[in-house]
Chain A
Amino acid sequence: MAVTNGTDYSDLVTNGGAVAELLAAEVLQQLYDPTDIRATVTRIAFNGSGSDTLNVTKDMVPGAFTSPGENATLNATTYTTAHFDIQVAAWRRAYALSDLIPVSGSPINLDRAVNNLMQGVALTVTDRICNVFSSFTATAGTALVPLSVDDIFDGSFALTAALNSGPATCVLHPVQYNDFISSLRSETGAAQWMPATGAMLAQRGPGFKGSWMNIDFYVSDSVGTDGSGSYQGGLYTPGAIAYAMANVAAMGVHVPAANVILNAGELLVELDRTASDGVSAAYATMFLGVSMAEDDRGVEIISDAS
């Protein structure tokens, strides 16, 4: 016999006996590119001593001796150094959460926001390092043409010709890397039989992709484009790019100790409670400067962006 007047779930939702949705216990991470390429560049210590700019000296290149001849005066050679500057500037990010968020039982809280801010340090540095690639005067590859193995060899040859020793680092946009892999898979000859060639073809996420021909490959979506619609990746050896991060602990004289949520040397996160608005905010501050240290140590890798 058929049941009549049964109560279904939608009736309960309508009449308040059930809720339409519940928050799951897990909070999942969205896809993003956490690539950190700080280890591939040179870090210069920054200790604030009256300026926001560091002048970094590059020692004179050693020279071969001359033969002045018998009873001839030897003229001294000028000790010619070079230099580059790194200027640190503030980079900041903040999240402000209203009081209703914890009261409503949301899994999103200030701790999670602070953790999120910490992840931003590497992203910021990677962005800035990738911005330097277009400063290299040497280029390999062709604008609006997909990247090929030949272009990577061209860049590597340019580094060798400029007296660089390996290992080199190559940072490419994901699209550039896909084009490179497309070219690599049809490569024949010596490169075809290298175990590293097979390893490079394996799918991995963003970040470190593997070493090939003594070049460490990284993929990052921080690689930018130029006006023609070409990506501007970079191939460089240690010493090409330098960065400095100021010690944020020196901000202690301005920030009350009770407000400091995190003081990690390069990153300071402070709490800002605005009772009148019912909002708690976490403000993260870092001081970063990135510069091209030596032009001869890097090559811009350009290729089609579509």
Chain B
Amino acid sequence: MRETLRLKKPTKEVNVIREDEGLPMGPRSRQTFKFVYIHYPKSWTFDTDLGFLPRVKKVEACPGLNGCKKNGSLALTLARVTEMGGTVLDPKDQRLGDYQDYVHFYPIRGGGKYYVDFNKEAVVLPNDEVMWNTHEQRDQWNEFMVHVRDCGMIQPLLKEVYLSMLERERKKANSLGGRLDRNPHLANKLERTNARIEGMQAHWNAANKVTDEMMAKAKKPSKRVAKKVAE
């Protein structure tokens, strides 16, 4: 004889009116890929508060791009980066500390992953428009750059690179000064550029006092004296 069956409480369906799990992808959205940060010895920038910061670039594991395999293998791509003098910031490197595994992702609504930098935060508006909090991500990024600079993963700033950055800034100041009489709006820019020049010198000198012997120096070509030709 069949008995009456009393079922347990049903599970709640939370997405009835609106599917709100994951990032919505509009028709203009593009696929993103896993990535690795790299740094080249000449890629530096200057922040008046934080000093010289490395300019870290991103190599995406995009099949068919710069030798990336169809399975996303970056072996060839990163070998080329190293050949060009770049340093690969391995996401598993312990020196990264809290920034280890810096590749993050949002699940995409309907399946898939949307890869983003560790500092990106998405806000999904009621109309499914995605807004990225770009202002706050800058501070986090700069903190990351300070960490990369100080943790020993990359070569320190070369004196030659510093001097070329300083020279470029001086030329910029000269150019702005030459146009200032016809362009009064350039006064602010000139002021900022002069502040950057002073800041660059101050930061370099401050860092140099402590780490003068630790600074990497470019190799000088060895001097060779030609042999005298027998007469």
Contact = CB atoms under 8 A, between A and B. Distances in A.
Contacts of B138: 144, 228-229
B28 A189 contact: no
A53 interface: yes
A222 interface: yes
Contacts, number: 108
Contacts of A144: 138
Contacts of A159: none
B68 interface: yes
Contacts of B144: 227
B183 A188 contact: yes
Interface of B: 27-28, 30, 37, 40, 42-43, 45, 55-60, 62-70, 76, 80, 84-86, 117-120, 132, 134-135, 137-138, 141-142, 144-145, 168, 172, 175, 179, 182-183, 185
A86 B80 CA distance: 12
A65 B128 CA distance: 66
Q: Decide if the interface of chain A is mainly helix, strand, loop or mixed.
A: mixed
Contacts of B45: 142-143
Interface in A109-152: 127-128, 131-132, 134-135, 137-139, 142-144, 150
Interface centre among A88, A128, A229, A287 (most CB of B within 10 A): A229
Interface of A: 30, 32-33, 52-53, 84-91, 127-128, 131-132, 134-135, 137-139, 142-144, 150, 154, 186, 188-189, 221-222, 226-229, 287-292, 295, 300, 302, 305-306
29 contacts: A32-B28, A33-B28, A87-B64, A87-B67, A87-B70, A87-B76, A90-B63, A90-B70, A91-B63, A127-B30, A134-B58, A134-B59, A135-B59, A137-B42, A137-B43, A142-B45, A150-B172, A188-B182, A227-B37, A227-B56, A228-B138, A228-B142, A229-B135, A229-B141, A287-B64, A289-B64, A290-B65, A291-B67, A300-B57
Given A131-B65, A188-B182, A226 B30 contact: no
Contacts of A30: 27
Nearest to A52: B70
Contact of A150 (B58, B137, B175, B182): B175
A86 B70 CA distance: 12
Contacts of A131: 60, 62, 65
Contact of B64 (A33, A128, A189, A295): A128
B30 A222 contact: yes
A146 to B, nearest CB: 11
B141 A85 contact: no
B64 A143 contact: no
B36 to A, nearest CB: 12
Nearest to A295: B84
B66 A228 contact: no
Nearest to B132: A229
B183 A186 contact: yes
A33 B183 CA distance: 35
Contact of A132 (B65, B135, B179): B65
Contacts of A53: 67
Contact of B58 (A90, A227, A287, A288): A227
B69 A87 contact: yes
Contacts of B70: 52, 87, 89-90
Instruction: Please name the 8 residue pairs, one residue from A and one from B, whose CB atoms are nearest each other, closest first.
Output: A89-B63, A89-B64, A227-B117, A229-B134, A89-B70, A289-B64, A228-B141, A188-B182
